[in-house]
Chain A
Amino acid sequence: MRQVGGMVWLGWLIAGPTAWAGAFSVAYGLHGLGCELGWPALDVGPLSLQRMAIALPSLAAILLCLVLLSRVKATLGPEAGLPRLGLWIGLIATLYTMAPVLVATSC
């Protein structure tokens, strides 16, 4: 196993929740922007542009968490435990808080 530095380990530890926080902020921001610009009325395929715009950052966060989850053991070895929990937190939090995007009315 490679020895990784403390800051790197801390980075892995907060990666999951940070991904959630990023998706959450971007979604909130795009939601406001979309309401202003009338995105809910524009359809892109099955969803409105509004829902797409809000769902995409969450999808990206989820993918990021999954990718990192698949690498965490190889990178951190015996110190992978806590960062793995952190990634799960990010994944579940993103799924849970962003689920309403699919059903609730926008704006």
Chain B
Amino acid sequence: MSPPDVTAIPANPPRRALPLHRELDRVWRNGPGLWGQVTSVSHTTLGLRFMATAFVFFGIGGLLAMLIRAQLATPQSAFLDTALYNQIFTMHGSIMMFLFAIPMLEGLAMYLLPKMLGTRDLAFPRLSALGYWCYLLGGTILIAALLAGVAPADGWFMYTPLSGKTYSPGINADVWLLGVTFVEISALAAAIELMVSILRLRAPGMKLTQMPLFAWYILGTAAMMLAGFPPLILGSVLLEMERAFGWPFFDPERGGDPLLWQHLFWLFGHPEVYIIFLPAAGVLSTVIPVLCRTTIVGYGAIVAAILGMVFLSFGLWVHHMFTVGIPHLALAFFSAASMLVAVPTAVQIFAWIGTMWRGRPELKLPMLYILGFFFTFVMGGLTGVMLAVVPFNWQAHDTAFVTAHLHYVLIGGFVFPMLAGVTWWMPLMSGRRRIKGLGEAAFWLILIGFHGTFFLMHLTGLMGMPRRIPTYADNPEWMWLNLSSSFFGFVMTIGFALFTIDLILQAGFGKRSVRDPWQAPSLDWAMALPPPNYNFASLPGVELQKEGAGGAMLKLARGEGLLPGAPRGRREILVTSVGTARLEHVALLPFNTALPLVLALAICAFVLLMLAGFYALAPVALIPVTGLIWAWARRAVASVDAAPVEVAPGLLLPVHPEGGTTLTQSGLRCLLFADGTFFASLLFGLAFLSLVSPGPPLPAWGADQKVLLSALAGLSLLVTGGLGARWALGRVESGRPAGAALFGWVIVNLVALVALAALAAGLPDPTRHAGDAVRAALVAYVGLHITIAVLFSAFALDLARRGELAHGRAGALRNGWLWQGYTLAAAALATAALWAQEAAL
């Protein structure tokens, strides 16, 4: 079937809106009561819940900030002792970064994107729910540790050796490593599904080059998350291995290097700042033109700026390590990249100013926050440039100046735009209008309080006050500045409290809002307020997209768009092509389920066992995790052929993509990309430890022929497995039985696992030297992948046995093949790396 021309799709006949709403609502709504909330997989519900939870964590982090400011108000306060103070600033930083900022932007993007792109949900609704529960459970672990007095206390970047077993013997550091990694599952889940949704779920005919800018920003953010989080996760895993089993990755006595942690952390940590900034800028680029009654200036330049930022921000992590003795030349090119990344930021700021210049800015509440952003962020940028100058950095490093700069950038660049966004989309989220006056008062308190608090910290920093100190008895001259700073901190807190009260009042008691109250053009406003879970009664085609929110709203509600209603009782959405959004097929989304919660609980059990130090028992918890993922995948399989669906008069679309790419396949590719950066970071670790770090040389392995042979045997078995999978796929596609081929695939993978076990048995003790530890880590990585390959092949075999693999429904097999290929590549690279490490001796 040739793809239908998206510009010439006939309209569906108009119907009465109310019955159509009832039909859809029956299929898409959440179940009743609390259980309905627990099982919901709706992006609207989960997006709101992500944001609400993030806001609660913001409150907790803010409370901790107030404790810090109370402590610093006088030189010798006895309010918090050093140990507790350390826990509090570490938790403040970690909560704000991992439990507030990232989840907040995930929530906003999850809530808005399907609405802006003209579809009914995200690509993997169950994954949204899984991400939420991992976030909530991981966050709860961190807060519980704080209440129990065993919170991490080594600063939010957890430098080794401070965070190693010698200096942090308790479980405090483990709480951070395990808890934050658990929460990062939600970041990866969100990144994958946002990326796939943007690339594959846009309304038909909405080209990439025409989609709302917000989607470009989130696409960039998602890509950065897929590349940025894996190094952090790797670092956390390695450090946890060192703490739990004594594998000395970061221990200089045994060939490790604390700098490896710093590299891995900042490889994540600097991009993190842009991960936070991009969605905030997305809000600005969405809101500014509407409030100025014009269109954005320089769409193409902004997309190019996003592109530049996404890449360049990965080239400057070393600027956080300027004081640790990096060679001059490397310093020079990281410095250059640090300055270069200012260009895309400047391009955007000029685009926003140009837009305001061209239009007629209206001083509504979101605009106040936008002006607050400009003022604050530009100052943060200036102090940032100062810090990028190497000699100044040596001066100001680790003083309150850095704290001040950091908050100008984070609060200016993220919190202000987010507050603008919240006030902007509140009518959509709550369906109600704001009560006048309160919001403005909150804004002024926050703005004045913020600048009062942090401007003064520049000065204390220049006077030499270090960051992270609880007392300063020898420098009583710092007191007045600190006292004033603390005073303004409380002003800001009152502002945030007022902001919260304003939101609650609006959601509870505001007057009903009219539809599209800002007269915004984008599709997120072309729906009822607050939006039903299905967003659109029918999906906008090219014509309706052109009409904008105002014109399309009624027609969509009357079912004149594509795929109206839910006549088959299924959750149906349209899947389109990556570039020009040609119609490809209809996808069926899953119904509400408790599976994500149960899976998150199973992962939580694993995390808790690790935390408690029951290392022998912890792997047992992975059995239910595996079983649940298996059940998860089983439910996604279509066991019978479904008839094509009429999307518009005379236009039939298949439910199974004929040889085309399924959503799951796109998702798996994203996952493999993240997995690949994880692996690349591990190889970087290996190279770094063997080449750059000083310390005792790696003692010889004594690897004999047996080891080499099992590596080669394992590799060739993996190749054979891949061939088996390919052969099976060919047979399934042509309708022949594939059981034997699939059976062979399973067996070959199992034997490969045995070969790897033989190799592992020949490894030297990983606690002997960091080089040995990396070696063991590589082997473990490959082992994990082969194990999953076994599961993939067994899953396909099981489907074949049940007769559920057929032409056009062989997605599970294709995915398995993709995994097999990745595993093979990783195994080959790992073998080469081991060989090179041995040869370098």
B-contacting residues of A (Cβ < 8 Å)? 4-10, 13-14, 17-18, 20-21, 24, 27-29, 31-33, 35-36, 54, 79, 81-82, 85-86, 89, 93, 96-101, 103-107
Contact = CB atoms under 8 A, between A and B. Distances in A.
B329 A10 contact: no
A107 B327 contact: yes
Nearest to A14: B307
B329 A105 contact: yes
Contact of A7 (B314, B328, B331, B578): B578
Nearest to A8: B579
B304 A89 contact: yes
Contacts of A18: 311
Interface in B314-361: 314-315, 327-333, 335-337, 340
Contact of A97 (B308, B328, B333, B579): B333
A100 B303 contact: no
B327 A35 contact: yes
Contact of A31 (B327, B335, B578): B327
A54 B315 CA distance: 16
Contact of A20 (B209, B301, B311, B330): B311
Contacts of B692: 32, 35-36
Contacts of B691: 32-33, 36
Most buried by B among A4, A29, A36, A97: A97
Given A13-B307, A93-B312, A100 B340 contact: no
A88 to B, nearest CB: 8
B687 A29 contact: yes
A106 B337 contact: no
A30 B317 CA distance: 18
B208 interface: yes
B409 to A, nearest CB: 22
A96 B336 contact: yes
B209 A5 contact: no
27 contacts: A5-B578, A6-B199, A6-B577, A8-B579, A9-B208, A10-B578, A13-B307, A14-B307, A17-B311, A21-B311, A21-B314, A24-B315, A31-B330, A33-B691, A36-B691, A54-B329, A86-B304, A89-B304, A89-B308, A89-B311, A93-B311, A104-B328, A104-B332, A105-B328, A105-B329, A106-B327, A106-B328
Contacts of B315: 20-21, 24, 97
Given A6-B199, A7-B579, A79-B209, A24 B308 contact: no
A107 B329 contact: yes
A98 B340 CA distance: 12
B310 interface: yes
B580 interface: yes
Contacts of A97: 315, 333, 336-337, 340
Interface residues of B, number: 33
B307 A17 contact: yes
B300 interface: yes
Contacts of A35: 327, 692
B546 to A, nearest CB: 19
A1 to B, nearest CB: 13
Contacts of B328: 104-107
A96 B340 contact: yes
A101 B337 CA distance: 13
Given A6-B208, A85-B301, A85-B304, 16 more contacts: A10-B208, A10-B579, A17-B312, A20-B312, A33-B691, A79-B209, A81-B209, A82-B307, A96-B340, A97-B340, A101-B333, A104-B332, A105-B328, A106-B328, A107-B327, A107-B329
Contacts of A20: 311-312, 315
A106 B578 contact: no
B300 A85 contact: yes
A24 B333 contact: yes
A98 B333 CA distance: 6
Contacts of A98: 333
A48 to B, nearest CB: 11
The 8 A-B residue pairs whose C-beta atoms are closest, nearest first, are A6-B579, A6-B578, A100-B332, A17-B311, A85-B304, A104-B332, A97-B336, A104-B329
A59 to B, nearest CB: 15
A4 B310 CA distance: 24
Contacts of A7: 578-579
Contacts of A33: 691
B330 A28 contact: yes
Nearest to B578: A6
Interface in B574-595: 577-580
A101 B329 contact: yes
Contacts of B300: 81-82, 85
A39 to B, nearest CB: 12
B333 A86 contact: no
Interface string B656-695: 0000000000000000000000000000000110011000
A13 B332 CA distance: 28
Contacts of A79: 209
Contact of A100 (B301, B310, B333): B333
A93 B308 contact: yes
B388 to A, nearest CB: 14
Contacts of B208: 6, 9-10
A18 B333 CA distance: 17
Most buried by A among B209, B335, B577: B209
B333 A27 contact: yes
Contacts of A100: 329, 332-333, 335-336
A5 B660 CA distance: 13
Contact of B307 (A32, A81, A89, A96): A89
A54 B333 CA distance: 11
A100 B336 CA distance: 8
A31 B308 contact: no
A81 B307 CA distance: 13
A9 B312 CA distance: 21
Nearest to A10: B578
B48 to A, nearest CB: 31
Given A36-B692, A93-B312, A86 B579 contact: no
Contacts of A17: 307-308, 310-312
A77 to B, nearest CB: 13
Given A18-B311, A24-B315, A81-B300, A9 B579 contact: yes
A20 B314 CA distance: 11
B75 to A, nearest CB: 43
Given A21-B314, A89-B304, A106 B340 contact: no
Nearest to B581: A6
A31 B315 CA distance: 15
